[in-house]
Chains A and B, each alone.
Chain A
Amino acid sequence: METKILDELKKSELLSLIAEGKRKDGRKFDEYRKITVEKGVIQNAEGSALAKIGKTQVLCGVKFGVSIPYPDSPKEGTMMVMAELLPSASHLFEPGPPGEESIELARVVDRGIRSAEIMDFSSFFIEEGKVLSVFIDLYVLDHDGDLIDASALASMAALLDAKMPLIEEGAIVRGKSAGPLPLKEKVVTCTFAKVGDHFLLDTTLDEEAGVEGRFSIATTPTHVCGIQKGGSGAFSKKNILELVDLSFKKGEELRALL
């Protein structure tokens, strides 16, 4: 109840600011907050990174495991992305099994990485019936909006930090590495929120209260490799093409941080 009322107040504040061409924190519409990325923060993981966009903090850990391949690709390894919205990270998150928000987040990050084919899954083959699996676990530690961009950034940084595990007699030797995980590209994601006729990059949690819809675009330097429209707002063809152009431009800023 209180939250609903607050959201309405935040929305009207957002709308009146935007009408004047302003944002509450003084940023331009297409400007990110301060971003930092730190790799190698969890020594027990094969790869890890902490990404911060403004007050949002997302930790990503990469673990390798040995598993049975899917029947339709017996020579290929597998990848899984999971997202945990820690109840510590926001009054909006509660303990329990993953809800729609965390599942969407994990799947959007998964699609960007998977579609860009940045990993060679055939190099994950160990022996008949045995392949390597890469587990990418996202831990949202502090929520102040734009979770998709921060999570995509953390996962890419953690993959860049990741070492291939050493395999002996069909099993992983823990604590030893077989060199860096080869990656073809750096995938980054830019999320634009629609407010009236305007688009805001990197919304804060307060701004998100007044947003009609969002558009997340994952890119490599040359291609779009994943898109997710979120929220109940509508986008035109013209909107979408403009946002794709902008996401290549803004994507370069993110790639430079990796």
Chain B
Amino acid sequence: MEKPTLVVEGKRLDGRAFDQLRPIKMKAHVINAADGSAYVEWGDNKVLVGVYGPKECLPRHMANPYKAIVKCRYSMAPFSVLEERIRTGPSRRSTELSMVIRQVFEHTMFLEAYPETEIDIFIDILQAGGGTRCAGITAASIALADAGIPMRDLICAVSAGKIDGQIAVDLSKDEDNYGEADVPVAIAPRNKDILLFQMDGLLTRDEIEHMLDLAYSASSVINRMQVDALKEAYSGERTEAVLPL
């Protein structure tokens, strides 16, 4: 397919400003069976996260006597993309993403409080629309909080990038595919620590600085929504979990 024009009269393809997020919906407690769960709709992305643990670490030889171990699986549903069906099972991409996401939460959780145990994070992309790892991290934080696992912060993630020469936040699928650079970042809102940073494309130092500033402002909006989603799930009686797909 030919590269579409990504910026028309100072606006992006979907009419957004450069510092504007796509519409986002978040809900905690969506899987009855899980210890914690969350669902995030972010633009065209639909992401489901289930969390189990801390629980007995299996196999036993993987257990750490000083802290909990974290297992993370990022996975895309076969029907999550408009293009050809995705084969089931891990790919090289999903293996890498599972690892970098796991590392975000290894930093964030108080793992030393739960020696000999494991904490499982399962991120399932039911529909993909650009920025699935960021939506996944944002949803996983809500699910971990829903599971009552103590954390240093409620991590959120967003991508920034360069499209038709302009720096923009929260790239859509087309902007990611046809833009010049894509930079997903995960941020701890309280102390502004960066816990995930990946980049492909060509950027100057100043462009990276501009992107981080955009990502920081977006992260405060996202963080507020995460808190609201948790407050909603815990404000009344604990009811049956319903996935608002």
Q: Which residue of B lies closest to A36 (CB)?
A: B242
User: Which among B32, B78, B79, B88 is the interface contact of A144 at CB below 8 angstroms?
Assistant: B32
Q: Are B241 and A55 in contact (CB under 8 A)?
A: yes
**Size bin of chain A's contact surface:** 35 or more
Among B17-25, B41-49, B107-115, B204-212, the stretch in contact with A? B41-49
Q: With a CB–CB cut-off of 8 A, which chain A residues contact B127?
A: 42-44
Q: Which residues of B contact A141 (CB under 8 A)?
A: 31, 48, 243
Stretch at the interface among B118-126, B157-165, B178-186, B226-234: B118-126
Interface check A24, CB cutoff 8 A = no
B9 at the interface (CB under 8 A from A): no
- Asked if B2 is at the interface of the complex by the 8 Å CB criterion, the answer is no
Q: A65-B85, A87-B50, A135-B78 given as contacts; is B245 within 8 A of A142 (CB)?
A: no
Partner of B48, one of A62, A88, A91: A88
B33 at interface, CB cutoff 8 A:
yes
Give the nearest-CB partner of B39 in chain A: A141
Q: Is the CB–CB distance between B50 and A86 below 8 Å? A: yes
Query: Complex formed: what's the CA distance from A175 to B84 in Å?
Result: 11
The verdict on A61 contacting chain B, using a C-beta distance below 8 Å, is yes
Contacts of B132 in A (CB 8 A): none
Q: Is A82 an interface residue (CB 8 A)?
A: yes
- Is the Cβ of A63 less than 8 Å from the Cβ of B48? no
**Nearest CB of chain A from residue B97's CB, rounded to whole Å:** 14
A135-177 contact mask (Cβ, 8 Å, vs B): 1 or 0: 1010101111000000000000000000000000000001100
Q: What are 13 A-B interface contacts by the 8 Å CB criterion?
A: A38-B245, A42-B126, A43-B44, A44-B79, A59-B77, A59-B126, A62-B79, A65-B85, A82-B78, A87-B73, A88-B33, A91-B33, A144-B32
Indicate if A57 sits at the interface (CB-CB under 8 A).
Answer: yes
Residues of B within 8 A of A (CB): 31-34, 37, 44, 46, 48-50, 52, 55, 73, 77-85, 88-89, 120, 122, 124, 126-129, 240-243, 245
- Indicate if the CB atoms of B82 and A88 lie closer than 8 Å: no
Partner of B31, one of A50, A62, A89: A89
**In the bound complex, how far is the Cα of B31 from the Cα of A83, in angstroms?**
18
Q: Is the CB of A142 within 8 A of B78?
A: no
The one of B34, B83, B129, B242 in contact with A88, judged by C-beta atoms closer than 8 angstroms, is B34
Q: List the A side residues contacting B82 at CB < 8 Å.
A: 44, 174-175
Give the secondary structure class of B's interface: loop
Distance between B22 CB and nearest chain A CB, rounded to angstroms: 15
Interface residues of A (CB under 8 A from B): 38, 41-45, 48, 50, 52, 55, 57, 59, 61-63, 65, 82, 84, 86-91, 95, 97-98, 135, 137, 139, 141-144, 174-175, 205
Bound form: Cα–Cα A90–B50 in Å: 9
For B31, the chain A residues whose CB sits under 8 A away are 57, 88-89, 141-142
Contact across chains for A61 and B48 when beta carbons are under 8 A apart: no
A90 to chain B, nearest CB (A): 5
Contact flag A44-B78 (CB < 8 Å), given A38-B245, A82-B88, A143-B33: no
* CA A82 to CA B78, docked complex, whole Å: 10
B78 in contact with A89 (CB, 8 Å): no
* Beta-carbon contact of B44 and A55 below 8 Å: no
9 tightest Cβ-Cβ pairs between the two chains A and B: A88-B50, A61-B79, A45-B79, A63-B85, A55-B32, A41-B245, A88-B122, A137-B78, A44-B82
CB pair B85 A142 closer than 8 Å? no
Q: Report Cα–Cα, A238/B202, bound state, in Å.
A: 73
Known contacts A45-B79, A45-B80; 16 additional CB pairs below 8 A are A42-B77, A42-B126, A42-B127, A48-B79, A59-B126, A61-B77, A84-B88, A86-B122, A87-B122, A89-B33, A89-B34, A91-B52, A95-B73, A135-B85, A137-B77, A175-B82
